[in-house]
Amino acid sequence: MDFSNVTFNKHHKREASAKDASTALKLLLLSFATSLLLMGVAAAVSPAQASGVVFMVAAIAVGLLSFAAGGYGAYLAASALNWASYITVGVVICALIPYMKLLLFIVLAVFSINLIREAGFVFSLFGPLRKRQSS
């Protein structure tokens, strides 16, 4: 068996980090959108109009979905950026605080987009990560 022509990807770690950052960015955007949806529905529906238990269960389910997507997205982004473990834990905990979450997600989004671009990929919200076309 001849292995003389086998080559390995020298940029595997950077490309894997870019793919994690892409997934994290999608999860952060999902979390942000569900948070906005939850706040909009809560503001639009007065307590007298809502059918009590059904609305509360739906609101709690959407809130938990938002927190889970945001927490995991923040964890993936911080891990892809090679941040220290204690910073990653702090980032995930900050996903609980509403306005802190917004600032945190913006910072993580900027760093993630930069990481994706440095790795030579183009980010798209829908679909897989694509290599940038070389001009």
Domain boundaries, the chain: 13-43+51-131
- Residue 4 has a pLDDT of 73
CA distances from 14 to 6, 134, 135 (A): 20, 18, 21
Query: Structure pTM?
Result: 0.79
pLDDT of residue 50: 54
Average pLDDT over residues 9-30: 85
User: pLDDT above 70 covers what percent of the chain?
Assistant: 91
pLDDT (tens digit, 9 = 90+) per residue, 46-86?
665 656 677 777 778 888 888 888 889 888 999 888 888 89
End-to-end CA gap in the chain:
39
